[in-house]
Amino acid sequence: MTATPAGTTTHPHVEILRTIYADLTTVADYAADDIVLHRADRTAEDPRVCRGIQAVVAHEQALIRLAKGTLAMDVEHIAATEYFGAVLGVLRARLPQQIAMPFCGLWRFEDGRIVEHWENAYAAAELQQLFTTPAPRSATS
């Protein structure tokens, strides 16, 4: 779902964001070299910032790897302007454990390129724990 008034066209940044959420590895195609990503697991004491396109791509690849390739970002709503984008949806993964968590991604654009991104998960600490805690073993394992 995209927030666009009837009779208007969709801003090009909406399509960029839709593409990224369909395949997180495409972020490099749309980001500035000096992009800054504020991770979902950041705190006031530890801001958990990724700086530069290589660090951002490595972070996204790590998320996919931690979810053993089952990570999906189900987008429910995208709003974008020349300067900002906001994406609401549900992050889902089947491994290492079943996860379904609301998220809100905020994006800042300059000259059509992404220069900053804030990851926001509804319960970031819980999400981080799910990705770092092994799934319970069944009695037959």
CA distance 128 to 41: 7
Whether residue 137 is contained in a domain is answered as no
The reported pLDDT for the residue numbered 139 is 46
pTM of the model: 0.84
Phi, psi of 79 (to 5 degrees): -130, 135
The domain total for the chain is 1
The reported pLDDT for the residue numbered 2 is 44
Confidence of residue 77 (pLDDT cuts 50, 70, 90): very high
Phi, psi of 12 (to 5 degrees): -55, -30
Q: Which residues contact 72 (CB under 8 A, 6 or more apart)?
A: 91, 92, 93
Cβ atoms of residues 42 and 48 within 8 Å: yes
Q: What is the mean pLDDT of residues 51-55?
A: 97
Whether residue 138 is contained in a domain is answered as no
Whether residue 28 is contained in a domain is answered as yes
**CATH code (residue 41):** 3.10.450.50
Whether residue 41 is contained in a domain is answered as yes
Whether residue 1 is contained in a domain is answered as no
Q: Domain limits at 87?
A: 12-132
Q: Which residues pair with 50 in a beta bridge?
A: 37
CA distance 93 to 101: 9
Q: Is 46 left (phi over 0), alpha (psi -120 to 50) or beta?
A: beta
Whether the per-residue pLDDT at 136 is higher than 70: the answer is no
Radius of gyration of the chain (CA): 16
Whether the per-residue pLDDT at 72 is higher than 90: the answer is yes
> How many CB atoms within 10 Å of residue 55?
14
